[in-house]
A and B are shown apart, each in its own frame.
Chain A
Amino acid sequence: GEDVEQSLFLSVREGDSSVINCTYTDSSSTYLYWYKQEPGAGLQLLTYIFSNMDMKQDQRLTVLLNKKDKHLSLRIADTQTGDSAIYFCAERTPRGGGNKLTFGTGTQLKVEL
């Protein structure tokens, strides 16, 4: 079935690295995504990874995918106060036409000075 889980909260100090974790259950997932949602705003696509990759780096963001364990993580290097937001992981699977996304419940990242 489709189930994507994330921890609800993460608190880090400015300048430290943040690691946000996500687990999913559908092994047929083709793409996995990370979205950021700031208060009162819509979702902003941060990055995505294709299922045949195990790592993708984009500036301060590093995505790691362990397909065997169905585990996805987002590492934010040198975390800044502007990174405070809710982060959602999402998976796209071939079922149902293959285009709808299943989202996790979101991880609220709080960056403290």
Chain B
Amino acid sequence: GAGVSQSPSNKVTEKGKDVELRCDPISGHTALYWYRQSLGQGLEFLIYFQGNSAPDKSGLPSDRFSAERTGGSVSTLTIQRTQQEDSAVYLCASSASGRAGSYEQYFGPGTRLTVT
């Protein structure tokens, strides 16, 4: 595709509900990343997928957060039993892979999650 797309663009949910956020990376990009941007803060790394390798989950804040990447393309970030502190903009990025290179990450427009 032309760029990274994310859906929904906005999501309002009640505390305690589960939510799923979707990311479609740039076609051909084998690496996919999820970040979280909270109000007034920088970007916080959540999880990284590279090809068929085990994902780097080191940034997930709790076991309520999980992510999948099916067929090496589309990814879904799931937040179970949402809490108000989960309210943030969730950004997805993708990059081409290789042994060398700048690994520029291209970002989607984000999903703004509001937990009431």
Contacts and interface: CB of A to CB of B under 8 A. Distances in A.
Interface of A: 4, 31, 33, 35, 41-45, 48, 50, 88, 90, 92, 96-97, 99-106
Given A44-B107, A99-B48, A100-B45, 14 more contacts: A4-B42, A31-B103, A42-B91, A42-B108, A42-B110, A45-B104, A48-B102, A97-B48, A97-B50, A97-B56, A99-B95, A101-B105, A103-B35, A103-B43
Interface in B32-62: 33, 35, 41-43, 45, 48, 50, 56, 58-59
Contact of B104 (A33, A88, A96, A104): A33
Closest 10 CB pairs of A and B: A105-B42, A103-B43, A43-B107, A42-B107, A42-B109, A103-B42, A100-B45, A42-B110, A31-B102, A100-B48
B103 A92 contact: yes
Chain B interface residue number, banded: 20 to 34
Contacts of A106: 42
A88 B43 CA distance: 9
B13 to A, nearest CB: 20
Contacts of A100: 33, 45, 48, 56, 59
A43 B91 contact: yes
Nearest to B93: A43
Contact of B45 (A43, A48, A50, A101): A101
A33 to B, nearest CB: 7
Contacts of B50: 97, 99
Please indicate which of the listed interface residues B42, B102, B107 has the most CB atoms of chain A within 10 Å of its own CB: B42
A50 B48 contact: no
Contacts of B42: 4, 88, 103-106
B99 to A, nearest CB: 10
